[in-house]
Structure 1
Amino acid sequence: MALRLFRISQDVVAPIIKRNCTVSAFELQHKNPIQRKVELVPVAQYGGRHTVTMLPGGGIGPELMNYVKEVFRFSGVPVDFEIVDIDPSSEGNEDLEYAITSIKRNGVAIKGNIETKSESTGIISRNVALRNELDLFVNVLHCKSFNAIPAHHSNVDVVIIRQNTEGEYAMLEHESARGVVESMKVITVENATRVARFAFEFARNNNRKKVTTIHKANIMKLSDGMFLSSAREVAKEYPDIQHNDMIIDNCCMQLVSNPHQFDVMNTTNLYGSITSNVLCGLVGGAGLFSGRNYGDHYAVFEPGTRNTGTAIAGKNVANPIAMLNAAVDMLYHLGHRYHADCISDAIHKTIDADGIHTQDLGGQNSSTEVVQSVLQHLAEKRTY
């Protein structure tokens, strides 16, 4: 069965049929962009244990997942993993379909990067397809400085709330004439409003004082203009939270020169990817922070910048911290706060107190030395 990236409701289809016209899927999505609906599926849980889908991905992903399993096993975390491998070189989508079925069954997943080669024009992006099919409409990245890691700025504490399923990532491209490619940027008021409300609710629930909407409405007046106007409408419902906006190119400069002016950032899909990488680079790199993907019914956790950096699989030099932090966030989401607190505390002691850093952080420690330090601190807490 072919993967269905977009589910079209009868309310959309019926008027088209009534007009006796044939419309392609491309035209339908362009002219009638809709919010995908996802039916609630029971979360797999037995005896207080949760089953979580694990997608190791490619590159250093399998190596990092082994570290997660080792830490969980040592700590006695009540989580079982259903491992689903997705072959990045596969030309079909059967393994991706099975992964989506598994996540719908379990409700929660942890994943590495599932690479889609840039030159593979006939193969969809597995990362984007997962987010679209599961309606994971928002990505959350909390970028906070570590005291012991040399960085361009200290005391940075910024949260990026990123729209996750639209914008330039709609995967709607066609060659209208030889040598002329058109790429569709889709913004809907439903999803722009939904992500803005998520950002303001996050700010209120986490004692944050300001939300900054990032856009390019001075040029893309209809698409980014809608994203900005939706955020402004939502902001009226939260008078206790300050709201301002900033153009993306100026935002990048401001992040580099003065990141402390930002608190919570509300961004479109592409701008969120850009600002996430800028922020991570400012405070230590891609190997530290986790990314949380949320929908109405499902959640997927992964390294925050969705790339594997320069580490080579099997060389024992990859930084395991981002994947371990993703696992911690997953535990908080599942309600296992005690185990999450213990592992998070062990991670921070390893980095800040012990100064055990991999090469990407300017240190000389191996991946296993980082993990062994985390396990040592967990042993001191007697969490097993």
Structure 2
Amino acid sequence: MKIAVAKGDGIGPEIMNAVIRVFNAAEVPLEYEYVDMGKWVFDKGFNNGMTDAAKQTIEELGILFKGPMETPKGKGVKSINVTARKTWNTYANKRVFQTLHGVDTVFSKAGIPIDITIVRENIEDTYGGIEHMLTHDVALSRRFITRPGSMQVIRYAFEMAKQKNARRITCGHKANIMKLTDGLFLECFYEVAKEYPELKADDVIVDDLCMKLVVQPNNFDVVVLTNLQGDIVSDLCAGLVGGLGFAPSANIGDHICIFEAVHGTAPDIAGKNIANPTALLLSGIAMLRHVGLLEKAAHIENALLYTLEQGVHTGDFGDKSVPPANTTAFADTIIANIGKKPQLNAKPELADVASTCTVLHPDKNTMLESKETSQEKIVGVDLFIESSELPEVIAKKSQRHAGVKFKIVNVSNRGTQVWPTGSVFTDLVNQYNVRFESIDGHSLNQQDVIGLYVSMSGDFKICSLELLNEWDGKKAYSLAQGQ
């Protein structure tokens, strides 16, 4: 079986070489095709951080094992890590955080075991990176949460939780504030939960979740979250088990999967042969299990656990009275310990499962779309305008453009209503939202909205607009604070 390998930037080549040495010593039956990705590829003029040959190889093989990669700063280019995940639709980011004996934390010292799996949505949310300056003072980021995208990652999380005999699966969210976006994600969670009655499914608001994870992390098992919240919470969980040096990551898609460590390139220690390869090795072990090499995965993980249990450590963790091992020596010790088992939490050496890395090559893009079961109606429009005038002036000018189909409902600034009611204590910026709704709730069309846009543009610079939709009489848009 052949997989694509990208060594990465900074400490990437050092830790990747260490992991591949461990794999070879364990006689892992894989062939490695090295591909060109990372900052050094950006510097050669490839704006997506990978060569065309690298992209073709990864799409042919279906598995990418990668070291940490740096995105050049100040050049207007996107993160290679995010680009790879989104290009190949690796919609589920799975990160497993477990107590490792030999890695001391406040919880291990207290005898509190941790075994948490974070499943982070990997494609949508603010990681679309769709941003615009609406005025010289106001920046906008668009946050996309979709029903099909949410269903993909949530269904993966439930299926994975079922396979690992999880006692609990939790949805972390902020649906109390982001009622439409996080509300949709939460709705999808409970829709899928009905198909898995054997699993205990619940939800926790994400700020409360963070507090509970720090206080009683052993109460949680599998947690599924949207992209940005999942990124933050997974780093929090890394802190619970010793840091990012022990945080593996698997990016799962239907056709292509990417396995990588969570941590960055650590340029301050690059080339010094002192980096900790544990996170990348754990990511590689997850990759072995993914492709069915269960026995080899257990051999290597048990050797790693035995090594940690014996107190062998790199400079970023462990007993400071014991001299640390460098990257090479740490890998050598793991290699010497292949065949040994730790006293605690030894992994069962299961038989391999027949598998291949064969990729089904679609001939066109897949359209993800759920069936629309209710009647859609346009009932208004939000016009986002640039102005330094006061709300009363904005409203008076806007009313002149309403015509016979629209009425002005409210004016808001940074999401807070400032007309028809408001407070002089509300500070303003030079960008307002003027909300128009149809008179008597009559249905509108896009031509009506365009006519209003043209009329309003005589008085204001219109930065952006959003249609106000209803489905079967249910508002599909949020209200302003104070409306």
Q: TM-score range by the shorter chain?
A: 0.7 to 0.9
Which string of whole-angstrom CA distances, capped at 9 and with x for unpartnered residues, describes residues 180-234 of structure 1? 2211111000111111111111111110021110111111111111111110111
Residue number among 291, 299, 307 corresponding to 1:342 in the alignment: 299
SS in 2 for 1:59: coil
CA distance in 1, matches of 2:157, 2:38: 34
Q: Do residues 375 (structure 1) and 335 (structure 2) align? A: yes
- Residue pair 1:51, 1:80 contacting (<8 A) in 2 also: yes
Please give the secondary structure, in 1, of the residue aligned with 2:140. Answer: strand
Aligned residue in 1 for 2:384? none
Cα separation, 2, equivalents of 1:233 and 1:337: 32
What is the CA–CA distance in structure 2 between the aligned matches of 1:216 and 1:70, rounded to whole Å? 44
Which residue does the alignment assign to 2:68? 113
| Aligned match of 2:27 | 76
CA 1:87–1:326: 2 relative to 1, 3 Å = closer
Instruction: Kindly provide the CA deviation profile for residues 253-277 of structure 1, in whole angstroms up to 9, marking residues without a partner as x.
Output: 1111111111100111111111111
Distance 2:195 2:300 in 1: 37
User: 1:202 is matched with which residue?
Assistant: 160
8 A contact 1:286–1:309 mirrored in 2:
no
Q: Which runs of 5+ in 2 are unaligned?
A: 342-483
Kindly provide the CA deviation profile for residues 305-338 of structure 1, in whole angstroms up to 9, marking residues without a partner as x: 2424586111122111111111111111222222
Equivalent-residue separation in structure 2 for 1:112 and 1:131 (angstroms): 14
Q: After superposition, give the CA deviation of every residue in 1:350-371 in whole Å (9 maximum; x if it has no partner).
A: 111x111112113422222211
* 1:374 partner amino acid: I
1:67 aligned partner: 18
SS at match of 1:159: strand
Matched with 1:124 is: 78
SS at structure 2 position matched to 1:158: strand
Give the alignment partner of residue 355 of structure 1, picking from 305, 311, 315.
311
Instruction: Specify the alignment match of 2:249 in structure 1.
Output: 291
1:277 aligns to 2:219 (yes or no)? no
- Equivalent residue for 1:148? 102
Report the equivalent of 1:330: 287
SS at match of 2:197: coil
In 1: Cα distance, 2:21 partner to 2:188 partner: 45
Gaps of 5+ in 1: 1-49
Provide TM-score, normalisation by structure 1: 0.82
Alignment of 1:295-310 (within 5 A): 295-303=253-261, 305-308=262-265
Distance of 1:170 and 1:209 partners within structure 2: 33
How far does the alpha carbon of each residue in 1:136-183 deviate from its partner, in whole angstroms, 9 at most, with x for none?
Answer: 000111111012221021310111011011111112112222232211
- CA gap of 1:87–1:240, structure 2 versus 1, over 3 A, is closer
Q: Is the 8 A contact 1:311 1:318 kept in 2?
A: no
Inter-partner Cα distance in structure 2 for 1:258 and 1:222: 30
Moved beyond 3 Å, runs of 4+ = 117-120, 308-311
CA contact (8 A) 2:85 2:122 kept: yes
Would the alpha carbon gap of residues 268 and 306 (structure 1) be closer, same or farther in structure 2, given more than 3 Å must change? farther
- 1:76-124: CA deviations, max 9, x gaps? 222111111224142433625433322111111101122114433x211
Do the aligned residues in 1 keep the contact of 2:69 with 2:265 (CA within 8 Å)?
Answer: no
SS class of match (2:16): helix
Mapped to 2, the partners of 1:266 and 1:97 lie a distance apart of: 34
Contact 2:11–2:267 under 8 Å retained in 1: no
Which protein has the larger Cα radius of gyration, Structure 1 or Structure 2? 2
Q: What corresponds to 1:35 in structure 2? A: none
Alpha-carbon distance in 2 for matches of 1:87, 1:323 = 16
Q: Give the equivalent residue in structure 1 for 2:219.
A: 261
Output the aligned Cα RMSD: 1.8
User: Is 1:316 paired with 2:273?
Assistant: yes
Secondary structure of the 2:106 match is coil
Q: Conserved in 2, the CA contact under 8 Å of 1:212 and 1:266?
A: yes
Structure 2 matches for 1:25-174, cutoff 5 A?
50-88=1-39, 89-90=42-43, 91-93=45-47, 95-120=50-75, 122-154=76-108, 155-174=113-132
What residue identity is the alignment partner of 1:287?
A: G
Q: Does 1:178 align with 2:136?
A: yes
* Aligned partner of residue 202 in structure 2, secondary structure: strand
